[in-house]
Each structure stands twice: as structure tokens, then as C-alpha cells.
Amino acid sequence: MIRLEGVGKRYPDGTVAVDDLSLEAPRGRITVLVGPSGCGKTTTLRMINRMVEPTSGRILVDGEDTAGMDAARLRRSIGYVIQHAGLFPHRTVLGNVMTVPRLHGWSRARARERAREVLELVGLEPAHARRYPSQLSGGQQQRVGVARALAADPDVLLMDEPFSAVDPVVRGGLQQEFLALQERLGTTIVLVTHDIDEAIRLGHRIAVLREGGTLAQFSSPADLLAHPADDFVADFVGADRGYRALSFQRAQVPIHAEQPLREGTGHAPGSGEAWRLVIDADGRPLGWRHTDDPEERLRLGGTLAQQDGTLRSMLDAALSAPSGRGVVVDDRGVLVGTVRADEVLRAIQQAPRPTGDTVRTAEGTE
């Protein structure tokens, strides 16, 4: 658990970066700091591991005041991930990940074994261990940065805009894998982002900061969307917060059976539908094909909604599919059926409003 008690940072020229900030980051959860540029997000993060020294207040990690700790020991005990990964260009991937364990005094053999373990944990193949950062994609570099931060098995992980330098397609996948990884490890994470959608997707608790480093609201994502504290928070969250709130709502939506085509079977009329869904040999959706042009490339369209997914994923799947039918899959990615936008909207109207007690898991919310 990380507790900030009246924490402030004032620079010699009088600039106030953070002002009287108090909040508690729960153990084993993801706490997100979000707000406009200049609101003190990164400064707050860097004060936790004393890369920036606070000028007032106290920061406690597991009940111990960090001001009384050796700063170097504190930093080595806390994982730290930054934008662009911050890897050492002259070291291999394996060498980068071994860095912190070696600083802790681990033997080279033990550090190497642990580095290989965490590289596998973040989804990198063993062959990547021999490469250099310049030989990796942006998403792969970010995975290495996370692996390096986790190598010494820290209880606390600080992350500063970890996914902002990655392209949007890769970012979504990394975020989902990150949620699953955090749930598996139970690490306490404080993450900084400027992206409110990322904050809502990743955070168990969200701290919205104003310019000048004051706290505007600290609550669950569902409560933030349903009950913004004031006009500043409402404007920052955005006018479409009602749509975002659907990420925390579930309801029974009719799922209709499809007559899909197996990959490689070509044109198969007779369903009465202009669009036919193509699946692979295992029953996983590959995309939609228009019956007038069986040679046309497949178009999946957008979201694949989980069978027990949120109303937002169901609605997005229906609206983004070229057929107008949202594809629903089970936890193995196998086709279950499709949903219609009008029926999802009907379920939305009948669903109870989310409460502030909603808890996020890697699969969604509960």
C-alpha cells in the first residue's frame, strides 16, 4: 500500500508542481494518475521513489516513511517503467533485464534465469533475448521495459506513460496483457497517463489532478464516469462519458445463431443474408464476406465481444461490423453467435446504473 499525506512539491522559483496531495494506492491494485499537462502527474510518481524529493507531507510504502529510507535502496526495490522503455542500447535484451537483479547482488546465473522467466512472462520468445533494443519493434521494447522492472520481483511498480509511444493497434493488446499480468502477479501499480480512456480501461482507482497539482477526484472508474465531482472533472472525462460507462454494465442480450462459412469453402448462398461470417477450422471468426463478391478480402469490422462481455463491447461490435451484426465469442475465441444494435440498446435502457463499487479484472468488471 502507498499512502500520500499532504504531499507537495514547490520549486525554488515558487512554482508549485504538486499541492497538498493525499491519496492511498491500494495493495495489489492499479492506481492511475491522470490530468492535463502540468498537473504534477509525473512529479507525483517520481516522488514515490524519491527521484524527486517532496518539499512537504509524507509518502509511506507499507507503512514506512520513504524519507527515512536509503534513496538508492528504495529505488531498487520499486520497479520503474517509462515511455519509450528507456533501454540501454549497448546491452542485449537479456542484459537489460538482468540489470536490477545484478544491482541487488544476485549471481549472474540467477539473474540470467530470472531474466528469461520474466521475458517469457511478458510474451517475448527466447530468441529475443540475444537481440539489441534497436532490433525490436516499439511494442517489443516496451515489453522488455516491463520485464526489466519486474525482474527483481518488486511489490510496487511505477509506470510513466508506458504505452503512449506505441501505435494504437499494438497498445490495445499490450493493455489487455498488462491487466492479465497484474492480476496474476498482484503487484501494486501506480501508473501515469494523459489518456482518460486508458485510465478507465486500466485503473482500479483513478486520481484526476488539476493544474497546480491538486486532487480533483479520486474514485473507481465507474464512479468517476457516473458521478464526476465537478465541471472540471466532467469536462476532462468527456461528453461521451455515458458511453464509456457502458464498460461497467452487463445485461442479458439476445445472441443469434449464425450460419458461418468455413475458410476455403468459397461462396455458399442460401442463408438469405448479404454478409456471411467466415470462420477457421477451429470455429474462430476470420471476417465478413459479402455474398455478391466471394473473392473480396475479409472484413472483421471491429470489436469481438465476449459472451459475458460488457454492454459497451456488445454495442461496439454491432455498430462496427459491416453486416450490422456484432460477433460474440467465448473465452477461447470460438464463435458463439451475433448481437443486434437495437437489442443491445434495449438492454441498455433496462439495465441498472453502475455503482461506485465496481471492481475491474483482466476479463472486464465485476
Q: pLDDT digits over 88-112, tens only?
A: 899 999 999 999 898 888 999 999 9
User: Are the C-beta atoms of residues 222 and 356 closer than 8 Å to each other?
Assistant: yes
Q: What is the largest CA-CA distance in the chain?
A: 77
**Residue 361: pLDDT over 50:** no
Residue 114: how many CA atoms within 13 Å on its side-chain side? 22
**Residue 85: pLDDT over 50:** yes
pLDDT attached to residue 297:
66
Q: pLDDT digits over 240-266, tens only?
A: 777 777 777 788 899 999 988 888 765
Q: How many CB atoms lie within 10 A of CB 356?
A: 14
% residues pLDDT > 70 (the chain): 91
Q: pLDDT digits over 117-155, tens only?
A: 999 888 888 899 999 999 988 888 888 988 898 888 888
% residues pLDDT > 90 (the chain): 41
Domain with CATH 3.10.580.10 in the chain: 261-350
Mean pLDDT, residues 301-318 taken together: 84
Q: 241-271 b/e with 16+ CB inside 10 Å = b?
A: beebbbbbbbbebebeebebbeeeeeeeeee
Mean pLDDT, residues 44-55 taken together: 95
* CATH number for the domain running over 2-241: 3.40.50.300
Cα separation, 178 vs 240, in Å, equals 25
What is 261-350's CATH superfamily?
Answer: CBS-domain (3.10.580.10)
Q: How confident is the model at residue 169 (pLDDT cuts 50, 70, 90)?
A: low
Q: How confident is the model at residue 43 (pLDDT cuts 50, 70, 90)?
A: very high
What Å distances lie between residue 305 and 176, 290, 344, CA to CA? 14, 21, 12
Sheet hosting strand 205-209, strand order edge to edge: 78-82, 156-160, 188-193, 30-34, 205-209, 215-219
pLDDT attached to residue 171:
78
Domain with CATH 3.40.50.300 in the chain: 2-241
Q: pLDDT digits over 312-354, tens only?
A: 889 989 988 888 899 999 888 899 999 999 999 988 888 776 5
User: Among 6-15, 53-62, 299-308, 350-359, which stretch is predicted with the lowest mean pLDDT?
Assistant: 350-359
pLDDT attached to residue 272:
63
Cα separation, 152 vs 150, in Å, equals 6
